[in-house]
Structure 1
Amino acid sequence: MALAIFDLDNTLLTGDSDYLWGRFLVEQGLVDGDHYERENQRFYDAYKAGTLDIFEFLAFSLKPLAEHDMETLNGWHRQFMEQMIAPLIQAPAQALVEKHRQQGDTLLIITATNHFVTAPIAAAFGIDNLLATDPEIVDGRYSGGVAGTPCFQHGKVERLDSWLAETRHNLEGSWFYSDSHNDLPLLEKVTHPVAVDPDQQLADNATERGWPIISLHLEQ
């Protein structure tokens, strides 16, 4: 039984849930629209360029969670799932997950996007194991801070290593699917790294190293 690890945004999903949650907040009038949209785009561009300051971004993106109670947030998230996430879950990604499930592999999503946004998405794929950036919870509410190591770049490796030690899994025969050069530290650790609809930097690395390059997008 091998470990099959999946990045989420732009890998299993044909879009970025973190960025889209920001767009959802703007469209619903829940944040200062012009400012939030501008900053949301700035951070997304920095992520794609590999220059994102993860702590600056988290201070921005977790602030709205701290301003509302859990019941309200969960209600908004159900609407977000229906309107913005469901269309991004396409058959090729579902088929890949199912192939590994049928092989008896242990399924794990690992993502920089925070646990509030991603837990219902992992559930939609039927994947119980999720490593995501954890927003801090104090007295039943989000504080706006981060609990532990953000699940980003080398932080993904650190979080995965801790999970492996806790669960007694290992990386023998493991797979990792990702679209982003930000995930090179983890791609380099697994037995079978796979580039999925990769950005240019990852595509170049995958070609140079002989890694498979696949697409999970439906043909247009």
Structure 2
Amino acid sequence: MNLVLFDLDNTLLAGDSDFAWAQFLIGKGVLDREVQEARNIEFLEQYKAGTLDIFEFLDFQLAPLSRHPRARLDAWHAEFMDISVRPMITERARELVESHLDSDALVAVVTATNAFVTGPIVREFGIPHLVATIPAHNDGAFTGKPRGVPAFKAGKIERVDAWLESLGLHFGSFERAWFYSDSHNDLPLLKRVSNPVAVDPDDSLRAHALAQGWPIISLR
């Protein structure tokens, strides 16, 4: 059996669902444009530079979830899927996912973006498993804080290890393991698998992939 892991933002998606969700809420007037848009852009630039404080970012990202009832959030997310997400899904991305699903591999998305935002996106691809940052909740309401280790940088390895263990598996259970990513932030997990693939990579990951002889592909 093989293992196939996908990053989501700027990998399977031709864009960033984290950034797009905040921009969507700003567009609806849920978040204040003057204050929140500048912070959203700042966090995106920090991510690209590899300087992001994940907990500071999660305070920003998860706070809106704690201020609204789940039914309203779900309705907004359905609108978000139509307006923002589906236009970011390319045919190449769908075809790549389907090829791995058809091979009977164990397939998952591994993303730092929280599970509320990414769950419906992963289901749109037909991918059965999601390893993501988990937003904490209490009696069904989000608290605005993460639960456990965020699935970011080396945290992705920790969360994947825990997920595989819950299935009675580990990395050694697989003949081959792929991880597809666009970002140098994912180098820890890319180095862990037998088949790392750089997808429309940032400059830092592109340089590393070229030096290591890793495949570089585009899904755009």
Report the TM range for the smaller structure's normalisation.
Answer: over 0.9
3-state SS of 1:195 partner? strand
State the 1:168 CA deviation.
Answer: 2.5
Are 2:212 and 1:209 aligned? yes
Return the match for 1:184 from 171, 187, 190: 187
Structure 1 residues 148-157 or 167-176, which shifts more?
A: 167-176
Cα separation, 1, equivalents of 2:162 and 2:18: 24
Paired position in structure 1 for 2:202: 199
Opposite residue 187 of structure 1, the aligned amino acid is L
Q: Which runs of 5+ in 2 are unaligned?
A: none
State the 1:165 CA deviation.
Answer: 1.4
Opposite residue 178 of structure 1, the aligned amino acid is S
Poorly superposed stretches of 4+, deviation over 4 Å:
none
Cα separation, 2, equivalents of 1:165 and 1:40: 35
Paired position in structure 1 for 2:73: 73
Contact 1:3 1:170 survives alignment (8 Å): no
Cα separation, 2, equivalents of 1:169 and 1:18: 30
Aligned residues: 217
State the 1:104 CA deviation.
Answer: 1.1
Are 2:128 and 1:128 aligned? yes
Please give the root-mean-square deviation of Cα atoms over the aligned residues, in Å: 0.7
3-state SS of 1:130 partner? strand
State the 1:169 CA deviation.
Answer: 3.0
Report 1:28-177 matches (<5 A). 28-171=28-171, 172=174, 173-177=176-180
Return the TM-score normalized by structure 2: 0.97
Per-residue deviation, residues 35-61 of structure 1 (Å, max 9, x unmatched): 100000000100000000000000111
Opposite residue 127 of structure 2, the aligned amino acid is I
Cα separation, 1, equivalents of 2:86 and 2:33: 24
Return the TM-score normalized by structure 1: 0.97
State the 1:128 CA deviation.
Answer: 1.4
Per-residue deviation, residues 13-47 of structure 1 (Å, max 9, x unmatched): 00000000010011111111111000000001000
Cα separation, 1, equivalents of 2:134 and 2:194: 27
Cα separation, 2, equivalents of 1:200 and 1:170: 31
Cα separation, 2, equivalents of 1:2 and 1:205: 24
Cα separation, 1, equivalents of 2:49 and 2:134: 23
Contact 1:134 1:147 survives alignment (8 Å): yes
Cα separation, 1, equivalents of 2:16 and 2:140: 27
Cα separation, 2, equivalents of 1:109 and 1:19: 18
3-state SS of 1:98 partner? helix
Give percent identity, aligned residues only. 51
Contact 1:177 1:195 survives alignment (8 Å): yes
Cα separation, 2, equivalents of 1:53 and 1:5: 24
Q: Which runs of 5+ in 1 are unaligned?
A: none
